[in-house]
Amino acid sequence: MKFDTPAGRNPIDRLKVVGRPTDRVEGHLKVTGTAPYAYEWHDPRASLAYGVIVGAGIAKGRVSALHLDEAKAAPGVVAVVTHENAGPLGKGAFYVQRFLADPKVDHYHQAVAAVVAETFEQARAAAALVRVDYVSEAGRFDLAAQWDTAPVPPESASGGPPESVVGDFEGAFAAAPVRLDETYTTPDQAHAMMEPHATIASWDGDRLTCHTSIQQMNWGVRDLALTLGIPKNRIRLLSPYIGGGFGGKGTVQADLALAAVAARLVGRPVKVALQRTQMFNATIHRPATIQRIRIGATRDGRITAIGHDSLNGNLPGGRTEPTTASTKPFYAGANRWTRLRLATLDLAEGNAMRAPGEAPGLMALEIAMDEMAERLGMDPVAFRVLNDTQVDPMQGGIPFSTRPFVECLRTGAKRFGWDRRASRPATLRDGRWLVGMGMAGAIRAAKIATSGARVRLDGRGVVTVEVDMTDIGTGSYTIVAQTAAEMMGVGLDRVVARLGDSDFPETPGSGGQQGGPSVTAGVYAACLKLREAVAQRLGFNSDDVAFADGMVRSGNRAVPLGQAAQAGDLVAEDTIEFGDLSKRFAQQTFGAHFAEVGVDADTGEIRVRRMLAVCAAGRIINPKAARSQVIGGMTMGIGAALMERMDVDKRRGFFVNHDLAGYEVPVHADIPHLDAVFVDEVDPTMSPMKAKGVGELGLCGVAPAVANAVYNATGVRVRDYPVTLDKLLDRMPDAA
């Protein structure tokens, strides 16, 4: 079906199941350890072998010799995969990284070999015996050194125009009576998901089946086909449960590609998992950025000019981090200029990580907005309210589908007690702690994409839904089941949701905050078709039939739903498409984050004391799961604000702290009580579900809210993330 206009008579609007806080339908499998993740799949009939990847010991150059005899002679070794026996390997359409040095080495820990043995322990021991000779080349590892020289990349590397201009930014900025011109930096960050990248690959003739941990099945099939040089219809991916991804498992990585190659070479299934220390340098990451923000305003606080110039680095052919995505539509201002530039760095590929673009972009923009409010002598909330806009200033003034940003700000300020904030920094103490409050706005694109689903009704009245959608811990199983239950008038106990199989109807998968609204709309479309089939089978007029409480009713007649399938299962499949909606409406989600921190006056130690998020994301299909997602995003944002940073060895070209001992992420002791609430809204222009994604909005704006709170507590403005105590100590109020 094609969705063009708001749905009229809509079964979803009954809200008997949709919109209710609902436990995970697969939760019991996870808490009992019976949900099979990629590495845990087991077939006792399979003669399974194990692969361990050997990563390059240099950052740039080539392999001059491989010494494999000792490894091949080790106990249990079946084969050693290298570029010499792997066959030709291509690249996918989304990542630019190559999965095997051939013999060119592009970055540190790029795979140079994969040792396959009867057991994991044997494979690991033999991998340590592989010896590699390299010819090293000089590499580029310093982003700041290329600030003055890095070019604007082609549009294909930016996901849109890398440079956008509205009005006369330079003239308006020069003429503005109040101006800000500051530079902010964000570091390289790792996904650090709980489950590592893992795959079990097996061939049956020329057909490949992989149990793998991947977020977007359609991309995975496409990119694996391109990598191996085989047709897509010969590949089946299975990923029913994923232990986190954050964008780092969007499509094919080395575990999937090399497990498939190794399985083909040895003629038996092969299991490969990346060890934790390999994941930081051998997979993608969020790239570091340098961002210059310029804002000009009238003395009463109205923005007249806003400019954002941003730089990140990547492998040759890589993509930009689209940090200006948040600056383009967020605030009013007649004169605007944004530019993305891309340096060449010989580090692991920079690519999608939760809320790519907006998350690091807001880390700069929302500190700049705070600084500008201070220069104007305005409250930060009031400054943002004054510069709200109901049309997208960069898209010809098209209206936002919905934009309750001001409601988020005002609701959050009242609920958090913003009126108790000290307007003058470094003036509020609680014993040895300097106490401050900060806030930041949040915006994240509300993408929605073509999505299909298949639904089946059996004679017991059970509805089974099949979609290739994945669940990375976000609750996809539950919202799929809720949608089908609402549409077919049954309880959740009468719905079976089957996910994560590339042979099922295609969805966008888990990524870009589009999975939830897209897949539920696809399920809605398929259920509409199933309702018509049920009505026809029972002899009802499909325009005058109701589905509720397991019954189908029309007029004075009521029939159990399962009766429609007594003669055989009824199956319906459909795909929903959205036409030009994204051109007629600016589709975004909005929010506001508020934070209170304490900073030790003697040591500079920072502790987040409490936080609040107020989010607007259309209809919330499952408030319990959505709140969990937002709180998870807030936790991740605290990490970005205060601790997360991959440090680059600029001589040898690799991330030094490539494990969870050296790369710090928040733990329970770092996280206080977090509160998340939702503005009551629906967006009828988005889909029949009237919902938007929310999984990435909860991260956007968190880090600058914390950074702004640290400034309010100490009077020390830090523009270089993470905000660590060493950046505060010599500038603290009581410092000598």
pLDDT tens digits, 2-28: 998 665 678 999 999 999 999 999 999
Strand order in the sheet with 495-498: 495-498, 463-466, 451-457, 570-576
* CA dist., res. 378 & res. 396, Å (int): 29
* CA pair distance 283, 39, nearest whole angstrom: 18
For residue 441, give the 3-state DSSP assignment.
Answer: strand
**Which secondary-structure segment (H or E) carries 212?**
strand 207-212
**Identity of the amino acid at 124:** R
- pLDDT score recorded for residue 725: 96
Q: Residue 184: what are its φ and ψ, rounded to 5°?
A: -130, 145
- Are 461 and 572 in the same domain? yes
Among the candidates 577, 598, 616, a domain finishes at 577
Query: Is it the case that residue 152 has pLDDT exceeding 60?
Result: yes
pLDDT at residue 179 tops 60:
yes
Q: Is 493 exposed, middle or buried, given 0-12, 13-18 or 19+ CB atoms closer than 10 A? A: exposed
Number of domains in the chain: 2
Determine which helix (DSSP H) or strand (DSSP E) holds 203, and give its type and residue range.
strand 198-204
Are residues 570 and 542 part of one domain?
yes
Cis preceding-peptide flag for 393 (omega within 30 of 0): no
Q: In the chain, what's the furthest Cα-to-Cα distance?
A: 87
Cβ-contact 251, 112 below 8 angstroms = no
Q: Please spell the DSSP secondary structure of 380-415, one letter per residue.
A: HHHHHHHT--SB-TTTTTPBBS---HHHHHHHHHHH
Q: Looking at the structure, do residues 590 and 735 belong to the same domain, yes or no?
A: yes
435, part of any domain? yes
Strands 451-457, 104-105: pairing is unpaired
Handedness of CA 667, 671, 673, 678 (dihedral sign): negative
pLDDT of residue 547: 97
Residue 44: pLDDT band by 50, 70, 90 thresholds?
A: confident
Residue 526 shares a structural domain with residue 591: no
Report the C-alpha gap between 8 and 406 in whole angstroms.
28
CB contact burial 117-141 (16+ within 10 A = b; e otherwise): beebebbebbbebbebebeeeebbb
Domain-located, residue 390 = no
Which residues form the catalytic set?
696
Pick the range with the lowest mean pLDDT from 365-374, 538-547, 628-637: 538-547
Q: Is there a domain that residue 30 lies in?
A: yes
**Is residue 225 pLDDT above 50, yes or no?**
yes
- Reported as a single tens digit per residue, the pLDDT across 444-473 is 999 999 999 999 999 999 999 999 999 999
Which one of 543, 577, 611 terminates a domain? 577
pLDDT at 548: 97
Given a cut of 90, whether residue 734 has pLDDT beyond it is no
Assigned domain for 116 exists: no
Same domain? 513 vs 634: no
> Is 336 inside any structural domain?
no
Q: Map tokens 């409406």 to a residue.
A: 585
Average pLDDT over residues 161-190: 98
Checking if the pLDDT of 375 tops 60, the result is yes
- SS3 of residue 227 by DSSP: helix
543 by Cβ neighbours in 10 Å (0-12 / 13-18 / 19+) ranks as exposed
Which pLDDT score is estimated for 8?
63
Asked if residue 729 belongs to a domain, the reply is: yes
CA dihedral 225, 226, 228, 233 (to 10 degrees): 20
pLDDT over 90 percentage in the chain: 96
* Strand positions, DSSP E, 56-189: 61-67, 77-81, 104-105, 111-117, 131-136, 163-166, 178-186
3-state secondary structure of 673: strand
Report, as an integer, the average pLDDT of 205-216.
98
Burial pattern 226-249, b for ≥16 Cβ within 10 A else e, equals bbbebeeebbbbbbbbbbbbbbbb
Q: What are phi and psi of 45, to 5 degrees?
A: -80, -15
**What's the pLDDT score for residue 99?**
97
Is there a single domain that holds both residue 408 and residue 463?
Answer: no
- CATH assignment at residue 505: 3.30.365.10
Tell whether the model's pLDDT for residue 736 goes beyond 60.
no
Going by their DSSP bridges, the two strands 451-457 and 335-344 should be labelled as: unpaired
Q: pLDDT by residue (tens digit) across 398-423?
A: 999 999 999 999 999 999 999 999 99
Average pLDDT, the chain: 97
In a domain, 680, yes or no: yes
Residue 150 has pLDDT above 80, yes or no: yes
Report the candidate in 305, 482, 473 with the shortest Cα–Cα distance to residue 387. Answer: 305
Rounded Cα–Cα distance for residues 47 and 572 (Å): 38
97 lies in a domain?
A: no
Domain coverage including residue 657: 399-444+585-736
Shared domain for 460 and 507, answered yes or no, is yes
Kindly state whether residues 608 and 727 are assigned to the same domain. Answer: yes
Q: What pairing do the DSSP bridges indicate for beta strands 551-554 and 557-560?
A: antiparallel
With vertex at residue 254, the alpha carbon angle to CA 249 and CA 256, rounded to the nearest 5 degrees, is 70
pLDDT tier at 270 (50, 70, 90 boundaries)?
very high
Question: What is the enclosing helix (H) or strand (E) of 495?
Answer: strand 495-498
- Distance (Å) of CA 557 to CA 166, 262, 448, 458, 485: 62, 61, 39, 21, 21
Residue 519, helix vs strand vs coil: helix
**Contacts (Cβ under 8 Å, ≥6 apart) of 32:** none
Instruction: Specify the pLDDT at position 545.
Output: 94
Instruction: Please give the pLDDT value at position 733.
Output: 87
How would DSSP label each residue in 598-667? EEETTT--EEEEEEEEEEE-BS-S-HHHHHHHHHHHHHHHHHHHHT--BPEETTTTEES--STTTS----
pLDDT band at 504 (very low <50, low <70, confident <90, very high): very high
Q: How confident is the model at residue 266 (pLDDT cuts 50, 70, 90)?
A: very high
Residue closest to 325 by CA, chosen among 189, 175, 509, 513: 513
Which residues contact residue 610 at a Cβ distance below 8 angstroms, ignoring those fewer than 6 apart? 595, 596, 672, 673, 674, 675
Same domain, 567 and 521: yes
470 residue type, one letter: T
Judgement on whether residues 690 and 614 belong to the same structural domain of the protein = yes
> Which of residues 515, 546, 577 is at a domain's end?
577
pLDDT band of residue 45 (cuts 50, 70, 90) is confident
pLDDT score at 560: 98
Q: Do 566 and 606 have their domain in common?
A: no
pLDDT in tens, 654-678: 999 999 999 999 999 999 999 999 9
Output the pLDDT for position 5: 65
| Interval 545-570 mean pLDDT | 96
Task: Identify the pLDDT of residue 542.
Answer: 83
Do both 570 and 454 map to the same domain? yes
Residue 735 binned pLDDT confidence (cut-offs 50, 70, 90):
low
